[in-house]
Amino acid sequence: MGPRGHSVGEVAALAAISVRTLHYYDAIGLLIPSERSGGGHRLYSEGDLATLQQILFFKELGFGLQAIGRIVNDPAFDRREALVLQRRMLEDRSLQVKKLIGAVDRAIEGIEKGIVVDEKDMFEVFGDFDPSKYEEEARGRWGGTQAYAESAKRTAKYGKAEWQAIKVESDRLNEGLVDLLDSGVSPDDPRAMDLVEEHRQMISRRFYPCSVEMHVGLGEMYVADSRFAGNYDGLRPGLARYVCSAIKANAARNGV
């Protein structure tokens, strides 16, 4: 470390990322180095390195760069609280990975020893998430739409791994919204809008192209339909209304 900070090359080597990535983080305002050398080169302070660590932790946990920027650049950001949250999320992920490894080991043992594994035990590791639960209703409501056709086409190829990944992603978003609701954060706060925007993008990526207008319609359904409202409010009373309001705020932010 030099007397005034780390060079971009040193930071790239320390964090095992590319210099180009650091330049990009600087360009988008995610991580702007605190200092410059006499020749105008970027120099990163110890505080910058701590921020970079946070960025990489959140990125590893699946957060988008825009959402990370909102978090780490918030004046109220508390690094210790963030680390506690990250540890809890990593523990949850670790527990699920251990369960999956155990299921794989049992499947291998069953093949090697000729043991017939109970059908229920085969899928117990995936919890009670049932992607076909509302299939008939979805077909009745939206069966003639292009969105339903696209969703049916994509999901027909999904196996347990894909559905589990969707569940993990959905759980992460819901947990983030619950935390904001519990903290008294307004649904039109950028943090809430960023999370519901991630939700919209997940729908587009996993199921069908979901426009901002369509997302508003979904948000209204989350409140109007008692089953959807029950799913959200079962996590935290008032969450369905909170999600709907955040979706509408995000739509307004996007000029809709």
**Tens-level pLDDT at each residue, the chain (256 residues):** 445 689 999 999 999 999 999 999 999 999 999 988 877 788 999 999 999 999 998 888 877 788 788 888 888 888 888 888 888 888 877 877 787 787 777 777 767 766 555 555 555 555 554 444 444 444 555 555 676 677 778 777 777 778 778 888 888 999 999 999 988 999 999 999 999 999 999 888 888 888 899 899 889 988 888 877 888 888 888 999 999 999 999 999 988 7
Contact of 163 with 170, CB cutoff 8 Å: no
Q: What is the pTM of this model?
A: 0.49
Predicted confidence at residue 129, as pLDDT, reads: 47
Predicted confidence at residue 120, as pLDDT, reads: 54
Among residues 210, 213, 211, 240, the alpha carbon closest in space to that of 225 is found at 240
Predicted confidence at residue 79, as pLDDT, reads: 85
Among residues 165, 144, 148, the alpha carbon closest in space to that of 156 is found at 148
| DSSP-derived secondary structure letter, 37 | -
Predicted confidence at residue 239, as pLDDT, reads: 92
Q: What are φ and ψ of residue 43, in 5° steps? A: -135, 130
Predicted confidence at residue 68, as pLDDT, reads: 86
